[in-house]
Chains A and B, each alone.
Chain A
């Protein structure tokens, strides 16, 4: 290059400007993560004081516990199914709104609301609606007694938290899908229409392929969110039960650490979860992203 490189020589000012962000990241991410790393190799008494180095013992305890693997299995099922559900519904809704079906202006506005509802509120609403004795869905039990009982049946409980989580994620996905659809040049779809392709054909051959980057982004966000952000819903709707059927990894960390005051065991599990989420994201960027075309 012959052109003059544009550089910013005032490093002091630059440092000063990015300092607040760096301090935030350090205080709220690296520092706690470092502390968790230290705790996971020691036994930390709740009130502090002399903690002892125990090497890999905490990780051994975690990995040798069959209930931990149960927790991992449920978390994976939960994350995958709520991602598929949330993205599927959002995509259908976005296509409808994009096609300007009657009333789309109102829907476009309303579909975003659920995202503004806090997770515990979502949990409470779903608990009431789906309560087997008293909720709206209890009518089902009057037709087929015992068909729906998340308080007794583990599968029902997983369905319940999956629905609740998907419901709150649909809104977020919807906005991204709609924005993605609307950024596809109209000329493309119009040209296809003139060539005689139907609605479904245009969706399959033009709109979906062009949505790939949005799709990929949302898969990453949804999976990560389901792994780490589902605490509020589980705590209110099922509290991990019945018989640990909804004891997600993040909920187990909470109950071991905050309820049980076993900080070291919780720290070890947090690290495992962190590594899992990091590797998941890494795999997605490394292998899935290659198949995504951004233009």
Chain B
């Protein structure tokens, strides 16, 4: 009996193998992504959707355990000639990849493999971030977000206000009122420079670095010790010392998102990608909304920057793999797929047609997704200027961590705002000069 079962199983197995062999084998290509956790699952799901959508190609998708790792691993793999065909690289890695001579630039790739892409479909603010100084796209924007202000409506109602503050001056008055009403944390912030330095400078149309934030050449220098940023840092310090705002990081016990979601703090600046997180993990009954980041009085609001990642096609792969990769990239850019992403994550639709369709279909009227259009408004507020196209600085990850350390020193009272930011600029400029020297003889496209 047992023997019989075994032989039946063997037969069934043989039949399946036979059936599989009868089909033409699919052309495989490798795709590495950086996102982890729930977002990583969405990445894997996207591959599955592609594989199920047709029978010619197969995407072999491998999570790398973080954006950092995806970049490190791709570099190591490229050196060993074991790299994937497509890789998801975060915004800050763009410069390294543009200078790497290891990629197949997107415009050329789309032309060579006859992709159906229309570059003008992308939102201008998204396009400019990943484009060269001549406006050519070198990678395909993928999961994208922007920063917004999250505010607790119920807390603001207690001080008799129904509208979010549109200016930082109003925000300060609101925080004072919240404190007077007994709130111990009106605003949660951390040392992440993405919101407080990069986005804030963009919406005030202020440069972070010379040479058009680095777009025009590797000899750019940081200028964050002038203009709006020192003023904002001084305010943060003042608000912190007065007990209006509070630093919330993983080290203090709760991140800003956790502190906002459980109602400890009444507001924060964060990525729209956390819209779903706050919705899912928020304290029951938390009455919250999102708004555009406030602007200082006397400044005209400009577009905010895109964050997230883009897909890079790597050099030195076979023609078949490139054809498969082109099919995949075409697939993720179909309106149906662009619309799918915001449904399962907090990311925004990256093309104008998809966004328009979603708006018309009433996506943003659904309670779960209400307010997400704010990030689109913020991202497209004005056409990108020299200061709001993006940031293209060598080794930007290290620059971020220099600024971060100095912000910590400032908030802890070890340094004044002026000294701290001057030190950050001096050290960042050393990093930029080393980067320029390492890549001497190469120019930014």
Residue positions of A touching B, CB distance < 8 A: 43-50, 52, 54, 61, 67, 127, 131-135, 138, 149-154, 157, 237-244, 255-256, 258-262, 264-265
A262-B412 contact, Cβ under 8 Å, with A47-B100, A133-B254, A151-B252:
no
Main secondary structure of the interface of A (DSSP, over half): loop
Whether A45 pairs with B438 at a CB distance below 8 angstroms is: yes
Whether A47 pairs with B75 at a CB distance below 8 angstroms is: yes
Whether A134 pairs with B438 at a CB distance below 8 angstroms is: no
CA–CA, A29 and B100, complex, Å: 28
Is B206 among interface residues, defined by CB-CB distance under 8 A? no
CA–CA, A264 and B434, complex, Å: 10
Which residue on B lies nearest to A44, using beta carbons? B438
CA–CA, A120 and B101, complex, Å: 36
Instruction: Kindly identify, within residues 212 to 252 of chain B, every residue whose CB is under 8 Å from any CB belonging to chain A.
Output: 247, 249-252
Residue positions of B touching A, CB distance < 8 A: 68, 71-72, 75, 78-79, 96, 99-102, 191, 247, 249-254, 395, 397-398, 401, 404-406, 408-409, 411-412, 414, 427, 431, 434-435, 437-441
Which residue on B lies nearest to A153, using beta carbons? B412
Whether A47 pairs with B79 at a CB distance below 8 angstroms is: yes
A151-B249 contact, Cβ under 8 Å, with A256-B398, A259-B68, A265-B434:
yes
Whether B441 pairs with A152 at a CB distance below 8 angstroms is: no
A127-B250 contact, Cβ under 8 Å, with A43-B437, A258-B72, A265-B434:
yes
A151-B247 contact, Cβ under 8 Å, with A43-B437, A43-B438:
yes
Whether B408 pairs with A47 at a CB distance below 8 angstroms is: no
- Knowing that A47-B75, A133-B253, A262-B434 are A-B contacts, what are 6 other residue pairs whose CB atoms are under 8 Å apart, sorted by A's residue number? A151-B251, A240-B405, A260-B397, A261-B75, A261-B96, A262-B395
Whether A47 pairs with B253 at a CB distance below 8 angstroms is: no
Neighbouring A residues of B427 by C-beta, 8 Å = 67
A262-B79 contact, Cβ under 8 Å, with A46-B96, A150-B251, A238-B251:
no
Whether B438 pairs with A264 at a CB distance below 8 angstroms is: yes
Listed by A's residue number, 24 A-B pairs whose Cβ atoms lie within 8 Å are A43-B437, A45-B99, A46-B96, A47-B100, A47-B101, A48-B78, A49-B101, A67-B427, A131-B252, A133-B253, A152-B247, A152-B252, A237-B251, A240-B401, A241-B251, A242-B412, A243-B408, A243-B414, A258-B68, A260-B398, A261-B75, A262-B395, A262-B434, A262-B435
Whether A46 pairs with B398 at a CB distance below 8 angstroms is: no
CA–CA, A50 and B79, complex, Å: 13
| Chain B nearest CB, measured from A70 CB (Å) | 11
Whether A50 pairs with B441 at a CB distance below 8 angstroms is: yes
CA–CA, A262 and B96, complex, Å: 11
Whether B75 pairs with A131 at a CB distance below 8 angstroms is: no
Whether A47 pairs with B78 at a CB distance below 8 angstroms is: yes
CA–CA, A238 and B405, complex, Å: 12
Whether A241 pairs with B405 at a CB distance below 8 angstroms is: yes
Neighbouring B residues of A138 by C-beta, 8 Å = 253
Whether A135 pairs with B253 at a CB distance below 8 angstroms is: yes
Q: Nearest 6 CB-CB pairs, A to B?
A: A134-B253, A133-B253, A131-B253, A151-B251, A260-B398, A243-B409
